[in-house]
Structure 1
C-alpha cells in the first residue's frame, strides 16, 4: 500500500475534525471529531479495498480505523485477525462498527461469539454478549436461553457499563422473542432495575428491559 495514500487520507480526515463533535464523542469514550456522514462519503469514493483498510487500521488513529471498517471486506479476515482488532480497538464506536459491519457479515461470528462470551475482560465479553443477543433474535436454536437468563440474573447488576448494556439487551431480546420465557425476563428486569432511570428521548424506546419488552410486544401485536 502506498504510504502517500494513507498519509493523504489521514490529512483529509484531520481536515474534517470538528472540535465540538470531538467534545461530544469524548464524553462517550471516543477520540475523534469527524462527521460520520462525511467519513462515509470518503468510504464510498474509495470503494472496498482490503489492503488499504489494513494500512489505515495499522495507523492506530481512531478516525482512520473507522474508515478502515467501512472499506474492508469482512470475509477476508481470519478469526484471529478480528480477535486482535477487537482487543486493539478499544473505543466504543470502533467496537460497534467492528461487530456490526465486519464480524456479523463474515464467516467467524459464531466462533468469535463463543470465544469472547466469557472473556475475563468485560470489554471483550461485551462483544460476545452483543453477538449473543443478535443470535437470540436471528437464530436462537442451540442457545441455552435459560442459562443465559441465569447468568444475566446473577451478573448483570454488577457488570461493567458496556457489558451490562449488552447483557441487558440479551435479557430484553429473550423477553421479546420468546413468550414462554417472557415472564421470567420481565421479573428479572423489574427486580434488578438495570437502566430503569436511563434518560430516554421522547418517541424513543427505553432500554429498561420491562419497558422495552412491553413496547416491542405491543408493536408486534398491533395494539
Structure 2
C-alpha cells in the first residue's frame, strides 16, 4: 500500500473546500466546507490507515477529524485515548461521528459510557447518554431503566442543548423499545415539553418524545 502523509491528505482536503458548504455547516456549528460525499470517496480510496487517522485527528482541521474516523480502526484506540478525543471533538458533527463510528465499536464502550454519564462537561455527558441509548435499543440487560427515567425527569428540562438532545433521545428510545415504561416516558415528555416546538420538516418525525414514541410504535405495528 502506498504511504501517504498527513500533509498530503490535508492538502487534498483543502482543495475540496467549498465556501458555500462551509457557510451552511457553520449555521449548524460545524467548521468545515467539504462535501461529505467527497470525504467518503477519499476515505474509500485511502482505506483503513490507523496511524494516518491518528495524525489527521491531531490536526486542528474538522474535515481531517471526520476523515480520521472513516479510515481508523475503532478497536485500536485505547480507553484513555478515546476519552481525550471526545473532549477534543469540538463541533457537533465530529462529536457525533466519534461516538457513532468509533466509540460504539470499541471494547471500552461500556466503561466509557459509565464514566461519561456523570461527567461535569455536558458534551462528554451527552456522549455517555448516546451510548446509553444504544444499549437501551440493543442490549438493555442490566440497565436500570426506571433509574434512567428518574434522572431524565429531574435533569432534562435544564440540560444544555447537546446534552438535552442526547437525554431526550434516550427517553424516546426507552418508550419505543420497552412497552412497560412507555406510558411513563410519554408522560415525562408531555410534562416537560422539551423540543415540543422543534421545527420538523415534512415527512420527518418530531423529536418531541411523545410524538416520536407514538409514531415509531405505530410504524412497527
Task: Give the equivalent residue in structure 2 for 1:97.
Answer: 97
* 1:24 aligns to 2:37 (yes or no): no
Structure 2 unaligned regions, length at least 5: none
CA RMSD of aligned residues (A): 1.3
Aligned equivalents of 1:210, 1:77: Cα separation in 2:
38
The superposition leaves residues 104-141 of structure 1 with CA deviations (integer Å, 9 ceiling, x where unpaired) of: 11211111100101101101000000000110000111
Task: Give the equivalent residue in structure 1 for 2:126.
Answer: 126
* Matched ranges for 1:137-156 at <5 A: 137-156=137-156
Aligned equivalents of 1:119, 1:96: Cα separation in 2:
17
Task: Give the equivalent residue in structure 2 for 1:158.
Answer: 158
Aligned equivalents of 1:3, 1:32: Cα separation in 2:
25
Aligned equivalents of 1:57, 1:170: Cα separation in 2:
28
Aligned equivalents of 1:68, 1:93: Cα separation in 2:
13
SS of residue paired to 1:157: coil
Flag as ranges the 4+ runs of structure 1 deviating above 2 A: none
Task: Give the equivalent residue in structure 2 for 1:73.
Answer: 73
TM-score by length of 1: 0.96
The superposition leaves residues 130-167 of structure 1 with CA deviations (integer Å, 9 ceiling, x where unpaired) of: 00011000011111011110111010000000000010
Task: Give the equivalent residue in structure 2 for 1:35.
Answer: 35
Aligned equivalents of 2:7, 2:141: Cα separation in 1:
47
Structure 1 unaligned regions, length at least 5: none
Task: Give the equivalent residue in structure 2 for 1:57.
Answer: 57
Give the drift of 1:29.
1.1
The superposition leaves residues 3-35 of structure 1 with CA deviations (integer Å, 9 ceiling, x where unpaired) of: 972111111111111111111111111100000
Task: Give the equivalent residue in structure 2 for 1:214.
Answer: 214
Task: Give the equivalent residue in structure 1 for 2:85.
Answer: 85
Task: Give the equivalent residue in structure 1 for 2:11.
Answer: 11
Task: Give the equivalent residue in structure 1 for 2:176.
Answer: 176
Aligned equivalents of 2:146, 2:132: Cα separation in 1:
13
SS of residue paired to 1:119: coil
Give the drift of 1:60.
2.0
The superposition leaves residues 13-63 of structure 1 with CA deviations (integer Å, 9 ceiling, x where unpaired) of: 111111111111111111000001000000000000001111111112111
Aligned equivalents of 2:216, 2:4: Cα separation in 1:
50
SS of residue paired to 1:158: coil
Aligned equivalents of 2:61, 2:207: Cα separation in 1:
31
Range 55-64 or range 40-49, more displaced: 55-64
Aligned equivalents of 1:24, 1:101: Cα separation in 2:
23
Aligned equivalents of 2:177, 2:51: Cα separation in 1:
40
Give the drift of 1:67.
0.6
